[in-house]
Structures are given as C-alpha cells and as structure tokens.
Amino acid sequence: MAAPTLSLPLPALAEQFLLRRDMTFLNHGSFGACPRPVFDTFQQWQRTLESQPVEFLGRRLPDLLRQARAQLATFVGALADDLVFVPNVTYALNIVARSIALQPGDEVLGITHEYGAIERTWRYVCLQRGATYVNQPVELPVATYDEIVEQIWRGVTPRTRVILLSHITSPTALVMPVAEICRRARAAGILSVIDGAHAPGQIDLNLAELGACYVHSSIKVMNRFSMSIAKARTCNPAKVSGNRSSSHASRQTRAIASTLRLAKR
C-alpha cells in the first residue's frame, strides 16, 4: 500500500514554532509548543506589565480582561458573561467537581478516554461524597458517532447525575459527539460536564448551541495563554453548591459560582 501523503503545508507550519528543527515534535497536548505569533504577543504583554506593574495590574487589568472575555465569547460562540478565566483546565474542572452537590449513591459517568488528572479528580470527589465514578468503556475502533453515543449511554443508570466527556480525547484524539450526549443528558435531567481542553482553535465551537452545563477549555494549541472557560446556563442550579471553606481557592470558587449564577446549597 502506498504511504499516505499529507496535504498540510507542514514546512510552513513548522516555521510558526520555535521548536528545534532536528527533531519531530508530536506532543501538542500536555506539553504543546507555542506558535511564534502567540509567543511574541505573550511576551509583549509581559513587557508591558513589567514596565509599570501598578498601572497594569491596578488600573488596566479589569478592562483588558473584559475586552478579552468579549473577544473570546465571539470566538467560542458564547455570551461574555458566561465565561470565566481560571488558570487551567484542571483548576476549572476541580471547581465544577467540588461544587456539584453529589449525594451518596449518585453516579458520575466518565469514559475510558478521559484525561488522567481529571478522572482522578472526579474519583476523589465521588469518594468524599459517597458517590460512584463509573468508567464506561468505549471500545476502539469505532465506525460511527451513533456507535460512540450508544456505548457511552450504556453506562447511564437512574443514579447517573453527571456525565463527564472530553470534547477531544487526550489519549486517543477522538472528537466526541458532545452535542448529542448533551442533548440526551438534558432530556434525562443529567448534568453534562465537557472537558474542552483541546477544542478551541482545533474545531469550530458554538457553546450556546451546545447547551452543556459546563464547558472548560484551555486553548492547548495556543499554550501559555492559560485560558479556561466555565459556562453554565442550562443546568439545574439546585444541583450545584458553593464550597464552604474559607481558603483562597474556595473564595475564588464562590466568585466563579456566582458569576455562573449558580445557587449555593
């Protein structure tokens, strides 16, 4: 069989990165390299900050963040007020996992293609609340989206409260049928939590249409922006609680929860 040919302008794309040219770099997930224009812009902002930190952090930052949120909203098809900046995806998903009022006996359904740190977070939270994390197998190879949906849905029981799903899976690079899963979850009264770590910049997004309870994305392909999104519009507030401890993280959680207009228990 003839070797597949790539139609992508790879040499031109390689120019866009600072990576050494004597190696083939394949990990654009966990430790992805930053494209030159992003890196340059990132450094310009750092220099601006360092040239007058008080002016930048004390006076300009809130407006700059507001502008960034508005531009981001257009990019991902959401309302700016539904977006919150947090340090990274792990942080964002911890906020969500720890803010949902899981009860003993509840189930959280994930699939066997979730990112390790995120799966461990949900397992930990489930253990604390007396809930169960169900790791639903999605067997490879799969031929159709319908097949994936059916495999995932086999894990749903009357006790399922949350479905956790990566938009693009980390270990297997599959684009998941999140719209259909969210639609079914909504109809069944289940919260859908989408880990969108790799989605923005790689696939077109319309978060408003998706209607997921939460979507968390860092723009992995544009690393260094450390940008994450949390979105909540269609979820049932009664199922979500604020964290009651007084740590900085929980103050931030409460601030984010209130931005998300989520009710505290």
**Site residues for ligand PLP per CB under 6 A:** 29-30, 88-90, 115, 117-118, 166, 170, 195, 197-198, 218
Query: What CA–CA distances, in Å, run from 114 to 48, 55, 172?
Result: 38, 42, 9
Smallest distance from the beta carbon of 29 to ligand PLP, in angstroms?
A: 5
Alpha carbon 18 to its chain centroid, in Å, reads 26
Nearer to ligand PLP, 57 or 173 (CB): 173
Smallest distance from the beta carbon of 119 to ligand PLP, in angstroms?
A: 9
Burial of 43 (0-12, 13-18, 19+ CB in 10 A): exposed
**DSSP structural state of residue 240:** B
Smallest distance from the beta carbon of 14 to ligand PLP, in angstroms?
A: 22
Nearer to ligand PLP, 28 or 264 (CB): 28
**DSSP structural state of residue 56:** I
Smallest distance from the beta carbon of 113 to ligand PLP, in angstroms?
A: 9
Nearer to ligand PLP, 93 or 235 (CB): 93
Nearer to ligand PLP, 163 or 238 (CB): 163
Smallest distance from the beta carbon of 226 to ligand PLP, in angstroms?
A: 7
Q: Is the dihedral of CA 224, 75, 86, 131 positive or negative?
A: negative
Nearer to ligand PLP, 78 or 165 (CB): 165
Which residue blocks in the chain are alpha helix, DSSP H? 10-14, 36-51, 53, 61-76, 89-99, 116-129, 145-153, 178-187, 207-210, 248-259
Which conformational region is residue 226 in: left (phi greater than 0), alpha (psi within -120 to 50 degrees), or beta?
Answer: left
Amino acid, single-letter form, for residue 98: R
